[in-house]
Amino acid sequence: ETGVTQSPTHLIKTRGQQVTLRCSSQSGHNTVSWYQQALGQGPQFIFQYYREEENGRGNFPPRFSGLQFPNYSSELNVNALELDDSALYLCASSHGLAGDVGELFFGEGSRLTVL
């Protein structure tokens, strides 16, 4: 148990719809990172939030957006869903900038299916 919780665990959407995924960080962690993992692939970095500010973004279009709240929980929003957005979305929290200070603590993920 990492203390990182994600919701919902599974969801099905149709192409063109919008989705919001939520993540509660482990207590004391001020950094949240979001990753997309397609079947059989490694996690792809979407973006990272540090103390409510975006701190780095991967190669994802602007329809992927995010927020971090004062309690350090976070949301990932995806607009105009495409079939290729079907994946496991992973949230990870850390104290400070993960690549500098150490490990990421992952939630169990949100499995998104786009039909």
Residues near other proteins, by CB under 8 A? 2, 4, 33, 35, 41-45, 48, 55-56, 59, 88, 90, 92, 97-100, 102-109, 111
Q: Which is nearer to other proteins, 66 or 109 (CB)?
A: 109
User: CA 17 to CA 94: how far, in whole Å?
Assistant: 31
Instruction: Tell me the closest approach of the beta carbon of residue 96 to other proteins, in angstroms.
Output: 9
Q: Which is nearer to other proteins, 59 or 71 (CB)?
A: 59
Instruction: Tell me the closest approach of the beta carbon of residue 115 to other proteins, in angstroms.
Output: 19
Instruction: Tell me the closest approach of the beta carbon of residue 22 to other proteins, in angstroms.
Output: 15
User: CA 107 to CA 105: how far, in whole Å?
Assistant: 7
Query: What residue type is assigned to position 42 of the chain?
Result: G
Q: Under DSSP, is residue 108 helix (H, G, I), strand (E, B) or coil?
A: coil
Q: Which is nearer to other proteins, 43 or 114 (CB)?
A: 43
| Residues 6 or more apart whose Cβ sits within 8 Å of residue 71 | none
Instruction: Tell me the closest approach of the beta carbon of residue 83 to other proteins, in angstroms.
Output: 20
CB 79 within 8 A of CB 63: yes
Q: Which is nearer to other proteins, 98 or 114 (CB)?
A: 98
User: CA 61 to CA 77: how far, in whole Å?
Assistant: 12
